[in-house]
């Protein structure tokens, strides 16, 4: 799942070495120095104490937390930030200053009591968290809500005239989006792979609109996604909504539609890529769209050269194609995952994807997607395979990436000495992505004995409640929340992972206040 049995022990041993000299060695040097200095004068010298930046008042580093540097194209392996030998071998400049400082970090998850499929989440400015529930009380999907940071949950519908009317009658895929610019909840449902319906709430899910149809020209329609951005094209309100769907056709590619009146009406679907590329798309599987405060909107998609981000700066009417890299390709197979995209508060674009090595890679753009940084591998140490990439960005250069990861394949347990196997829910956090060597703080939300799934190839196929994707978002305090499913228990219960404590990704980079530990004891459907 996410941990080997020697992780905690290895951390302890590495702490003792820090990343300079051991306290014992340092003390010996000080004693010798004091003896020698006595020959040159009687001036009293003060002892110097060494403090590792990874020594925390909160205690030992949890076994579910890693501090590391990213792998590169030439050496695609995580570099342990606590081990001086690994840092020296990787030729890394160790500069833990400014925002690039370590914080004591620990993760957990909370059960919701409802199941999910392709889980998406959103957090409003009130702090309320919203999660898609696949089998609600009505005929379609419902939204569940927590007002106490994931501790308890309630079904908020949508409900109509009665408890089973007034919403989309059937949904193959639910999708939830919280408009960060106006706090609107947008619920998107796909009906029978042929039509889309939008419902929204302006009051934290207390009431919902009637479903507004979004007709499409192509079938099947799948993998719907919606985002907003402030734009002068808006007729009602200040934002333009753009939704895109996957046609399932590499030739047709993604199709997108716009709403200028708050989601009530939508224009005809148009291609979500440059017109000159029509009929020449190498993949029809697009990533979720992301809107920036500067009025730009982005979506990830494999180009013919490699992972790419498509950008629109005119409200979603025209698009440019921007290949991120030709050095690190896309995951292969029938279920190759998307390029996930996020925009930070300064308009910088961040992207992550699963490569052919089955590991998550990351790059950023500081010029609206036109050019990109060198790609880096961001998985935690010991992780051997990953899937379902997702990403969200906070203030400038602060980003959280989510994925599921596996250390030991359950089908290979007989050939190992490991006690645990299966998949875990991971988050990789950077508080200064633009520094020369960003420190990555990685966490897994579940313990080794509590795998979220035990399917051998879960990261590369549609897998239980994960479906095709998962989701991650920040609340207004800068705390990340990741939407997952607990498939191993046989219930596909919606679970939400977060930090017990760690660095804030909004405002000043400070220690987040503590939340209670959850885990398997918080599950409600077993």
- Tell me if 232 is assigned to some domain: yes
Q: Calculate ∠ Cα 378-502-294, nearest 5°.
A: 70
Residues listed for the chain: 526
Name 186's bridge partners. 177, 200
- 18 pLDDT band, cuts 50/70/90, is very low
- Tell me if 284 is assigned to some domain: yes
- 17 pLDDT band, cuts 50/70/90, is very low
Averaged pLDDT, 76-83: 96
Taking only the tens place, the pLDDT of each residue in 44-54 is 434 434 468 99
Distance of CA 345 to the CA centre of its chain: 16
- Tell me if 464 is assigned to some domain: yes
In the predicted structure, residue 382 carries a pLDDT above the cut 90: yes
Q: Which of 336, 396, 386, 335 is nearest to 361 (CA)?
A: 386
Taking only the tens place, the pLDDT of each residue in 335-349 is 567 899 999 999 999
How many structural domains are present in the chain?
A: 1
- Tell me if 453 is assigned to some domain: yes
Q: Distance between CA 364 and CA 375 in Å, rounded?
A: 8
Taking only the tens place, the pLDDT of each residue in 240-265 is 999 888 776 767 778 888 999 988 88
Q: Distance between CA 322 and CA 307 in Å, rounded?
A: 9
Mean pLDDT taken over the chain:
85
The beta strands (E) that lie in 147-220 are given as: 154-155, 173-178, 185-191, 195-201, 212-215
- Tell me if 167 is assigned to some domain: yes
Contact 526, 111 (CB under 8 A): no
Taking only the tens place, the pLDDT of each residue in 80-107 is 999 999 999 999 988 999 999 999 999 9
pLDDT of residue 30: 38
- 139 pLDDT band, cuts 50/70/90, is low
Averaged pLDDT, 295-315: 91
pLDDT of residue 158: 83
- Tell me if 114 is assigned to some domain: yes
pLDDT of residue 46: 45
pLDDT of residue 55: 95
Averaged pLDDT, 128-153: 85
Q: How far is CA 356 from CA 76, 471, 504, in A?
A: 12, 22, 32
In the predicted structure, residue 3 carries a pLDDT above the cut 50: no
Averaged pLDDT, 200-219: 81
CATH code of the domain containing 466: 2.120.10.10
Lowest mean pLDDT among 285-294, 313-322, 340-349: 285-294
- Tell me if 276 is assigned to some domain: yes
Decide which of 2 and 496 is more confident: 496
Contact 83, 19 (CB under 8 A): yes
* DSSP H/E element including 13: helix 7-17
Contact 311, 283 (CB under 8 A): no
Taking only the tens place, the pLDDT of each residue in 414-426 is 777 778 999 999 9
Q: Distance between CA 393 and CA 397 in Å, rounded?
A: 8
Averaged pLDDT, 465-480: 94
% of the chain exceeding 90 in pLDDT: 61
pLDDT of residue 192: 56
- Tell me if 414 is assigned to some domain: yes
| Range of the structural domain that residue 344 is part of | 106-522
Q: Distance between CA 339 and CA 359 in Å, rounded?
A: 13
pLDDT of residue 85: 93
Lowest mean pLDDT among 136-150, 334-348, 360-374: 136-150
């Amino acid at each position: 799942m996410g941990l080997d049995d020697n992780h905690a022990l290895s951390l302890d041993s590495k702490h003792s070495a820090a990343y300079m000299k051991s306290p014992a060695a340092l003390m010996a040097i000080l004693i010798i120095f004091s003896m020698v200095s006595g020959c040159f004068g009687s001036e009293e010298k003060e002892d110097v104490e060494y403090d590792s930046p990874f020594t925390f008042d909160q205690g030992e580093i949890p076994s579910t937390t890693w501090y590391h540097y990213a792998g590169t194209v030439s050496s695609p392996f995580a570099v342990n930030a606590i081990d001086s030998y690994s840092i020296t071998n990787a030729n890394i400049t160790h500069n833990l200053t400014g925002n690039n400082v370590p914080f004591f970090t620990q993760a957990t998850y909370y059960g919701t009591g409802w199941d999910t499929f392709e889980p998406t989440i959103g957090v409003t400015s009130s702090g309320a968290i919203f999660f898609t529930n696949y089998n609600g009380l009505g005929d379609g999907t419902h939204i569940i809500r927590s007002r106490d940071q994931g501790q308890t949950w309630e079904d908020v519908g949508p409900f109509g005239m009665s408890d089973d009317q007034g919403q989309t009658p059937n949904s193959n895929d639910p999708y939830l989006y919280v408009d960060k610019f106006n706090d609107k909840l947008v619920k998107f449902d796909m009906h029978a792979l042929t039509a889309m319906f939008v419902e929204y709430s302006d009051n934290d899910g207390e009431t919902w609109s009637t479903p507004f149809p979004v007709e499409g020209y192509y079938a099947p329609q799948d993998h719907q996604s919606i985002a907003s951005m402030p734009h002068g094209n808006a007729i009602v309100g200040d934002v333009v909504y753009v939704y895109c769907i996957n046609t399932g056709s590499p030739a047709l590619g993604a199709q997108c539609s716009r709403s200028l009146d708050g989601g009530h009406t939508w224009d005809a679907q148009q291609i979500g890529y440059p017109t000159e590329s029509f009929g020449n798309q190498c993949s029809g599987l697009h990533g979720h769209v992301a809107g920036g405060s500067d009025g730009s909107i982005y979506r990830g998609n494999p180009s013919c050269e490699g992972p790419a981000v498509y950008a629109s700066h005119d409200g979603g009417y025209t698009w440019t194609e921007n290949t991120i890299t030709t050095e690190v390709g896309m995951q292969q197979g029938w279920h190759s995952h998307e390029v996930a995209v996020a925009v930070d508060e300064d308009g910088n674009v961040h992207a992550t994807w699963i490569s052919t090595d089955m590991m998550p890679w990351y790059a950023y753009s500081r010029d609206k997607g036109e050019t990109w940084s060198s790609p880096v591998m961001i998985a935690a140490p010991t992780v051997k395979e990953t899937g379902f990439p997702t990403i969200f960005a906070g203030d400038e250069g602060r980003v959280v990436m989510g994925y599921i990861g596996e250390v030991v394949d359950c089908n290979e347990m007989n050939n190992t000495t490991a006690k645990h196997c299966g998949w875990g829910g991971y988050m990789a956090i950077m508080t200064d992505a633009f520094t020369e060597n960003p420190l990555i703080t990685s966490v897994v939300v579940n313990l080794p004995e509590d795998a979220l799934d035990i399917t051998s190839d879960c990261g590369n196929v549609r897998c239980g409640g994960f479906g095709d994707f998962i989701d991650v978002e920040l609340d207004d305090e800068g705390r990340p929340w990741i939407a997952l499913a607990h498939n191993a228990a046989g219930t596909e219960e919606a679970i939400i992972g977060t930090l017990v404590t760690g660095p804030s990704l909004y405002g000043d980079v400070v220690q987040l206040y503590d939340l209670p530990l959850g885990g398997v004891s918080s599950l409600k459907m077993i």
